[in-house]
Amino acid sequence: MPKTQPTADTDESPPTAEQGGASGKVQSLERAITLLQATADSAPDGDTASNLAARCGLNRATAWRLLSTLEQYGLVERSPVTNRYTIGFTIARMASAAGFDGLIRRAHGTLRRVSEQTGETANLAVVQQLGLTYIDEVTPPVVLSAKWLGRQVPLHATSTGKALLAWLPQQEAESLLTGSLDAYTDTTITDRTRLRAELEQTRERGYSVCAGEMERNLYGVSAPVLGSRDRPFAVVSIWGPQDRVPESRFAALGPLVRAAAEEVGKAAQAI
Q: At what angle do helices 192-205 and 159-166 cross, to 10 degrees?
A: 80
β-bridge partners, 122: 138, 238
How far, in Å, CA of 134 to CA of 148, rounded? 6
How far, in Å, CA of 190 to CA of 177, rounded? 11
Q: At a CB cut-off of 8 Å and minimum separation 6, what does 100 contact? A: 126, 135
Peptide bond before residue 44 is cis, with ω within 30 degrees of 0: yes
Element (H, E) at 233: strand 232-241
Secondary structure of residue 251 in the 3-state scheme: helix
CATH of domain 21-93: 1.10.10.10
Task: Please report the pLDDT score of residue 201 as a whole number.
Answer: 97
pTM comes to 0.66
CATH class assigned to 99-268: alpha beta
Per-residue confidence in pLDDT tens, the chain, 271 aa? 444 444 443 333 444 444 444 456 788 899 999 998 888 878 777 899 999 999 999 999 999 999 999 999 989 999 888 999 988 877 766 665 556 788 889 999 999 999 999 999 999 999 877 688 888 999 887 665 556 676 778 899 999 999 999 999 988 898 889 889 999 999 999 999 999 999 999 999 999 999 999 999 999 999 999 987 788 999 999 999 999 999 999 999 999 999 999 999 998 886 6
How far, in Å, CA of 262 to CA of 210, rounded? 20
Task: Please report the pLDDT score of residue 8 as a whole number.
Answer: 40
Domain ranges of the chain: 21-93, 99-268
